[in-house]
Amino acid sequence: MAQRSTEGHILFLLIVGLLGWLVPGGGHLMLGKKAHAAVIFATIIMTLCTGLYIGSIGVINPVGAKPWYVAQVMNTPAVAALGHMTKQGDYPVYGRPNEIGQIYTSIAGLLNLLCIVNAVYLAHLRRIQNVGD
C-alpha cells in the first residue's frame, strides 16, 4: 500500500511541474494558490513579451545561441515552436536588440523554472503535512 501511495505522490508532483511549465503559474493554480498563479503568469509572460518585442522572434535561436535557447525554453513549449520557426535563420536580429531580447526571454524562462520548483516543493510539503496529521 505504501508503494502505491508513493507512486501516486510522484505522479502528482510531475503533473504539478508539467502544468507549471505548460502555463506559467499553472502549478500554483493546481495547488489552489490563485493569487500566486496570477502574479507568476503576468510577470513571466510580460517579461517574455518584452524580450520578444525588443528583439523580435529572432532572439529565439536554437542553432546559433543554444545556451540562451535552453533558458528560453523553460518559459513554455510555445517557445520551442517559435524556435522551430526561426531555425532556418529567416529572422535575423543584430546588435543590442538581439542581446537585450535574449536576456529578457532567458530571464523569464529561468524565473519560470524557479516557480516550477517552488510549486513542486509546495505540493510535496502539502503531502508531508497531510501524512503528519
105 within a domain of the structure (yes/no) = yes
Q: Which residues contact 100 (CB under 8 A, 6 or more apart)?
A: 51, 54, 55
Cβ-count burial of 97 within 10 angstroms (0-12 exposed, 13-18 middle, 19+ buried)?
Answer: middle
Number of domains, the chain: 1
Residue 1 pLDDT level (bands cut at 50, 70, 90):
very low
The secondary structure of residue 20, as a DSSP letter, is H
104 within a domain of the structure (yes/no) = yes
The secondary structure of residue 87, as a DSSP letter, is T
Q: Which domain holds residue 29?
A: 14-132
Please tell me the pTM assigned to this model.
Answer: 0.87
pLDDT for the residue numbered 6 = 79
